[in-house]
Amino acid sequence: MGTENRSLKLTMKPAQKQLVDALITAGVVTSPVTRAAIAEANVACGKSASVPSWILHDQSRRAGRGLFHVPEVAGGGHETPAPAAAPVVQPAAPVESPVQTAPPPAAAPSATLALTGGESATLVPNRMRTYVPFGHFDDMERIVMSGLFYPCFVTGLSGNGKTTMVEQICAKHNREFYRVNITCQTDEDDLLGGFRLINGETVWCDGPVVAAMKNGGVLLLDEIDLASHAIMCLQPVLEGKGVFLKKIGQWVQPAAGFQIFATANTKGKGDESGKFAATNVLNEAFLDRFPVCVEQEYPEMSTEKKIVTAVMKSLGLGEKEDKDFGKHLCKWSNEIRTLYFADGVDEIVTTRRVVNIVTAYSMFRDRRKAIQMGVTRFDAATQESFISLYEKIDAAAQVAPEESGEVARYDLDSTFDQKDEVKQAIRMLGGNTRERFDPVKKKWWITQAEKDTGAFEAWNPAPVYETATESEEAPW
């Protein structure tokens, strides 16, 4: 027991350990502990006279009215009955459970603390300073605010803010957000819960779906179209009727406020584009349990500009030059999307990628490099066409002529008095002297072949590079 509690303490956060120590100092060495004793210990830690959230919001610590399991206090040889890991078995559904024969387990770590690595007892996400609501945000927000159970399926191409939208609605409304990323291997055990080996003992741990149900949280089944048929265990949950945990014989009813969102790149009917590998056709009856399905589009250019501006601000960018880049970047992503939907290109630039390009720009302060880094994952032809499209939009990102290697001609630094000498040298090599004088630069110029003769060295031939020619043709 002592060993077990020591290991428990080792995994405690400093604030948690401080409270446990304060309880022990106050003579509380057995669990459960009263609300008053915890509040007093909290005051001794210099905090308010209340039960801290890591205990209050941890369902597995509830030991009855005004009582909480705090087995960590049981140091110094005091025996403390550990809390029952398995919640009460409903008489209507008696099932043989391994919990009944297992030795009394240690406190089942709450899904909340486990999900946050013990960092926080709340799953309310932080608000993103850079978040700009758009698309279906208002409708989805209204559904969450209604408190009604109304599962929503959000479909749309990658990186256009589906996941972030649900997260930020929760952040705005102080709602717990249970995000579960679904894969073809996700099963009942991952979703509803299962037995875990904790400190040498087998303990039932609620899965995120059950935790969200019990706490009235917002459950996000992210990338649901990657699921196998194992996802069908959620059928009753999607009906809002509660679920029976057959392994521990417990019936769990959803608490008020429980809500489900699912996101996916497809509509759950498979992927014809071949872009979303491993997506599956979902069971029709499963899909039918989502009363609403919305299609998330990429943000409009004006919205994406707001996002880019906010991201730039958060990265300390805001000079005219930065704003200029942001403006061109959004035009570029927007044009690529238009082309993509017109079958002009095979790849798309997502909002996620745009944000990543801004981040690269903040580090390198080089537009072209940032774009280059952002498109490197595409094949060579796509990279080239995306970069040249950007250069067409933003002349400032064109490769410096010196780097292009394409010499158009050589300018001579001859003086006005030397003009006849120059003319004669050109003619001697068979060159035409007409149009060899640049009236704007007021310089004579020669060709590469003429320069190679070495006859013009006295006038320091300086290379003039090809500039990108304005072509009417599209660069792809």
Ligand X SMILES: Nc1ncnc2c1ncn2[C@@H]1O[C@H](COP(=O)(O)OP(=O)(O)O)[C@@H](O)[C@H]1O
Nearer to ligand X, 159 or 194 (CB): 159
What H or E segment, with its residue span, contains residue 5?
Answer: helix 2-10
Nearer to ligand X, 131 or 340 (CB): 131
Contact call for residue 309 and ligand X (CB under 6 A): no
Its sign, for the CA torsion 39, 43, 48, 49, is: positive
Only segment of 17-25, 160-168, 338-346, 362-370 that touches Mg ion (CB under 5 A) = 160-168
If you search the block for the tokens 């609620």, which residue do you land on?
A: 206
Contact call for residue 134 and ligand X (CB under 6 A): yes
Contact call for residue 163 and Mg ion (CB under 5 A): yes
Nearer to ligand X, 3 or 126 (CB): 126
Contact call for residue 11 and Mg ion (CB under 5 A): no
Nearer to ligand X, 69 or 136 (CB): 136
Q: Are 223 and 182 in contact (CB under 8 A)?
A: yes
DSSP 35-104: HHHHHHHHHHTTS-SS--HHHHT-GGGB-STTEE--GGG--TT---PPPPSSPPPPTTS----HHHHSPP
Total residues at interface with Mg ion (CB under 5 A): 1
If you search the block for the tokens 């099963």, which residue do you land on?
A: 187
Nearer to Mg ion, 48 or 183 (CB): 183
Only segment of 156-164, 248-256, 271-279, 290-298 that touches Mg ion (CB under 5 A) = 156-164
Contact call for residue 333 and ligand X (CB under 6 A): no
Q: Which of 279, 351, 372, 385 binds ligand X (CB under 6 A)?
A: 351
Q: For the chain, give the number of residues.
A: 476
Identify the three-state secondary structure at position 211: helix
Q: Which of 106, 107, 132, 260 binds ligand X (CB under 6 A)?
A: 132
Beta strand 152-155 with 292-295 is parallel
Sheet strand arrangement including 407-411: 437-438, 443-446, 407-411, 462-465
Binding mask 213-252 for ligand X (x = CB under 6 A): ----------------------------------------
Only segment of 42-50, 73-81, 157-165, 280-288 that touches ligand X (CB under 6 A) = 157-165
b/e 14-26 (16+ beta carbons within 10 angstroms → b): eebebbbbbbbee
Q: Which does residue 52 touch among ligand X, Mg ion, none (CB within 5 to 8 A, set by kind)?
A: none
Total residues at interface with ligand X (CB under 6 A): 17
Contact call for residue 307 and ligand X (CB under 6 A): yes
Contact call for residue 276 and Mg ion (CB under 5 A): no
Task: Please name the residues in contact with 407: beta carbons below 8 A apart, sequence gap of 6 or more.
Answer: 448, 463, 464, 465, 466
Nearer to ligand X, 239 or 295 (CB): 295
Only segment of 145-153, 161-169, 171-179, 208-216 that touches Mg ion (CB under 5 A) = 161-169
Beta carbon of residue 230, minimum distance to ligand X (angstroms, whole number): 22
Nearest-angstrom CA–CA distance, 444 and 275? 56
Nearest-angstrom CA–CA distance, 194 and 135? 38
∠ Cα 14 16 20 (to 5°): 115
Nearer to ligand X, 315 or 355 (CB): 355
Contact call for residue 303 and Mg ion (CB under 5 A): no
Contact call for residue 235 and Mg ion (CB under 5 A): no
Nearer to ligand X, 107 or 220 (CB): 220
Nearer to Mg ion, 16 or 296 (CB): 296
Contact call for residue 163 and ligand X (CB under 6 A): yes
Only segment of 163-171, 184-192, 302-310, 322-330 that touches Mg ion (CB under 5 A) = 163-171
Task: Please name the residues in contact with 95: beta carbons below 8 A apart, sequence gap of 6 or more.
Answer: 89, 246, 247, 248, 249
Nearest-angstrom CA–CA distance, 360 and 358? 5
The Cβ-side half-sphere exposure at 307, using a 13 Å CA radius, reads: 27
Looking at this protein, which amino acid is placed at residue 170? C
Nearest-angstrom CA–CA distance, 122 and 144? 18
Nearer to Mg ion, 261 or 390 (CB): 261
Beta carbon of residue 281, minimum distance to ligand X (angstroms, whole number): 20
Residues found near ligand X in the complex (CB under 6 A)? 130-132, 134, 156, 158-164, 263, 307, 351-352, 355
